[in-house]
């Protein structure tokens, strides 16, 4: 059984040679053969990844909820620029 994992080649299924594109799967996406542990994520890695993705999704949902809370009236007349009303060039005040 040969595992292709040199620096320049992509990891491949030892059974059919199909490239391993997603290390989340423990089986080859083409032939279904079990992949060696070196070619897929461990359960601990998967759990860590899922937890990170869950937190990122929660943060994104919170950001969307906060930005949706701003209504047109909240930003009415606000073009994002702050102007000084009594500004005249050359004055020190």
Tens of pLDDT, residues 8-48: 678 999 999 999 999 999 999 999 999 999 999 999 999 99
Mean pLDDT of 47-58: 95
Angle at the Cα of 52 (from 38 to 18), degrees rounded to 5? 30
Say which residue, 60 or 82, is predicted with more confidence.
60
- Is the CA virtual torsion 33, 36, 38, 40 positive or negative? positive
Q: What is the pLDDT of residue 2?
A: 47
User: Is it the case that residue 52 has pLDDT exceeding 80?
Assistant: yes
Q: What is the pLDDT of residue 28?
A: 94
pTM above 0.85, yes or no: no
């Amino acid at each position: 059984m040969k595992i292709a994992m040199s620096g320049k080649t992509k990891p491949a299924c030892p059974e059919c040679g199909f490239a391993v594109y997603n290390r989340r799967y423990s089986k080859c996406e083409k032939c279904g053969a079990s992949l060696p542990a070196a070619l897929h994520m461990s359960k601990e890695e998967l759990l860590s990844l899922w937890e990170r993705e869950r937190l990122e999704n929660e943060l994104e949902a919170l950001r969307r909820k906060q930005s949706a809370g701003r209504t047109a009236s909240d930003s009415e007349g606000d073009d994002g620029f702050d102007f000084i009303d009594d500004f005249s060039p050359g004055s020190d005040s």
